[in-house]
Amino acid sequence: MKNTAQLRKSILARTASVAVIGQGYVGLSLACGAAEADFRVVGVDVDELRVNELRRGILNVPGVSAEVFASAYASERMTFSTDVTALDDADIIAICVPTPVRDNMPDLSHIVGAARAVATRLTAGRLVILESTTYPGTTDEVVRPILESSGLEAGRDFLLSYSPERIDPGNMEFDLRNTPRIVGGGTPEATGIAALFYGQMVDKVVPVSSCRTAELVKLLENTFRHINIALANEMAMVCHDVGIDVWEVVDAAATKPFGFMPFYPGPGVGGHCIPVDPAYLAWQVRRDAGRQFRILEAAQDINAQMPAYVAARISDALNDARKTVKGATILVLGVSYKRDVGDIRESPSIAILNLLHKRGAKVRFHDPYVESLQVNGLVLQRSELSRTAVTGADCVAILTAHSRYDLDWIAEHAHLVFDERNAFGSRHPGDRVVRL
Ligand SMILES: NC(=O)c1ccc[n+]([C@@H]2O[C@H](COP(=O)([O-])OP(=O)(O)OC[C@H]3O[C@@H](n4cnc5c(N)ncnc54)[C@H](O)[C@@H]3O)[C@@H](O)[C@H]2O)c1
């Protein structure tokens, strides 16, 4: 590309301006990171309410750190817009829009919509980066032709790259800066310039040979988690059948200093990534290779059946206490998909609540981060975590063990606790606590 030297110079001098399309968790995190690194940034989103609040300094995106947002906002280098003309001034445009699954197939409509918007404003000399998680080939085969409908050519007139967001929401140890960044470009020049841009914000950039490679790196990472969680879940079922404590087995295996990484059982997989991203890969392998990604599809099956397994184990625990699920009051603690975050997307706790409710239980829930949710179409408000609520429940089921729960107090007052997460660990809180 002709203007590469100019773009390189402006990145190094931080005079390059950045537009980030999609102001969800990923896009807002990138916008904040770029503003903190002294770039001028505009965050573009189709959601007017979100944009209006962000403009006023109101953080309305779960998972983004309040301090990170406040600091970037105070820098006055970050603005927000719903108008695609905001892209006109941007030297670097990043696309961070959702990639859901619809009918077991990738739904690229948001990527297509964002790429079309970019195509209408594209001029020569820009760098366009896709950050949304997707299957290999999306950047080259879906985004590139849309951008080239502008009459400009990738590699010759503008640069096109892919860089997956890898951040783990709620993780206090790893953030945008200290999580290495994978970058793959349509040309070595595109990889180099995108790597230079991310290098201003993150400690380590890992260039790879192509957009397709970078796309698959992200899917490998999430498929790896999905499969290992399935292994832990199936191990939990087997251990229960043969009367061995799965938690003790995993912890003991984890003392091996090499060749083993502990994964723990749980109620299934939740959140925006782990249940969704591997489905992109399974779909693509079927489409392009005409075969099943067998280990991945087996993991999907195992994890999908966990809510039913957990609901059955809660029923068994009630049965052992001479009670039936029908008519029992079950207080679920923790409905978000993971500890200490409020994200309930794809949360298996909700699937478990639905199942118990269908079996006739009177379900209640408490979660410090969630005020209300839908159970079989009915809106359920959070109950208090009071002594009355705990003693009034036939079973208290800890499905997500938020760190602020006072476990000893719960064990002291509850008639029966089902501990799905081994929240009590090696403590022995008595016979009233049943572990998965
Ligand atoms: N949330 C995570 O932990 C995480 C981590 C890594 C990767 N990802 C991936 O990053 C991508 C974005 O995820 P997210 O969690 O930030 O999504 P999100 O749903 O939180 O936010 C996406 C935003 O994009 C906006 N949007 C949709 N279409 C648009 C368009 N055409 N133009 C402008 N704005 C548009 C939406 O209004 C929304 O505000 C997805 O592909 C996701 O899989 C997410």
Of the listed ranges 5-19, 89-103, 211-225, 271-285, the one predicted with least confidence: 271-285
CB-based contacts of 2, cutoff 8 Å, min separation 6: 124, 125, 157
Percent of the chain with pLDDT over 90: 92
Protein residues with CB under 6 Å of any ligand 1 atom? 21-27, 44-47, 50, 96-99, 110, 113-114, 132-133, 165, 167, 169, 272-273
pLDDT in the model for residue 426: 77
Q: Which two tokens stand for residue 52?
A: 């209006």
Q: Which of 96, 211, 239, 273 is catalytic?
A: 273
- What's the average model confidence in pLDDT over 308-328? 97
> pLDDT tens for residues 89-147?
999 999 999 999 998 899 999 999 999 999 999 999 999 999 999 999 999 999 999 99
pLDDT in the model for residue 59: 95
pLDDT in the model for residue 153: 98
- What's the average model confidence in pLDDT over 269-284? 91
- The Å distance, Cα 120 to ligand 1 centre, comes to 21
> pLDDT tens for residues 142-195?
999 999 999 999 999 999 999 999 988 778 899 999 999 999 999 999 999 999
Q: CA of 283: how far to CAs of 105, 123, 214, 236, 294, in Å?
A: 6, 34, 18, 28, 12
Is pLDDT above 90 for 71?
A: yes
- The Å distance, Cα 319 to ligand 1 centre, comes to 44
- How far apart CA 246 and CA 230 sit, in angstroms, is 13
- How far apart CA 369 and CA 402 sit, in angstroms, is 9
Of the listed ranges 33-47, 122-136, 166-180, 406-420, the one predicted with least confidence: 166-180
pLDDT in the model for residue 169: 76
E strand segments, 367-416: 372-375, 378-381, 395-398
Which residue is closest in CA terms to ligand 1's atom 10? 132
- What's the average model confidence in pLDDT over 310-335? 97
* Residue given tokens 């020569």 in the structure block: 124
Distance of CA 409 to the CA centre of its chain: 32
- The Å distance, Cα 97 to ligand 1 centre, comes to 4
pLDDT in the model for residue 172: 83
pLDDT in the model for residue 288: 94
Q: Which ligand 1 atom minimizes the distance to the CA of 27?
A: 16
pLDDT in the model for residue 427: 75
Percent of the chain with pLDDT over 70: 100
pLDDT band at 272; cut points 50, 70, 90 = confident
Contact 334, 370 (CB under 8 A): no
CB-based contacts of 21, cutoff 8 Å, min separation 6: 27, 44, 45, 87, 93, 94, 95, 96, 97, 114, 117, 118
pLDDT in the model for residue 300: 95
Backbone conformation region of residue 418, classed left if phi is above 0, alpha if psi is from -120 to 50, else beta: beta
**Closest CA relative to residue 159, chosen from 132, 131, 136, 125:** 125
Amino acid at residue number 215: E
> pLDDT tens for residues 330-371?
999 999 999 998 889 999 999 999 999 999 999 999 999 999
How much is the pTM?
A: 0.93
- How far apart CA 23 and CA 397 sit, in angstroms, is 35
- The Å distance, Cα 175 to ligand 1 centre, comes to 18
Of the listed ranges 46-55, 393-402, 423-432, the one predicted with least confidence: 423-432
- The Å distance, Cα 341 to ligand 1 centre, comes to 17
Q: Which ligand 1 atom minimizes the distance to the CA of 99?
A: 41
Q: Which ligand 1 atom minimizes the distance to the CA of 47?
A: 37
**Closest CA relative to residue 26, chosen from 203, 218, 199, 190:** 218
Q: Is 273 noted as a catalytic residue in this protein?
A: yes
* Tally: H helices and E strands in the chain: 14, 17
pLDDT in the model for residue 43: 98
pLDDT in the model for residue 109: 98
- How far apart CA 377 and CA 314 sit, in angstroms, is 22
- How far apart CA 391 and CA 413 sit, in angstroms, is 6
- How far apart CA 303 and CA 270 sit, in angstroms, is 10
Distance of CA 74 to the CA centre of its chain: 27
- Work out whether the CA dihedral 373, 375, 379, 383 comes out positive or negative: negative
- What's the average model confidence in pLDDT over 365-388? 96
- What's the average model confidence in pLDDT over 47-72? 93
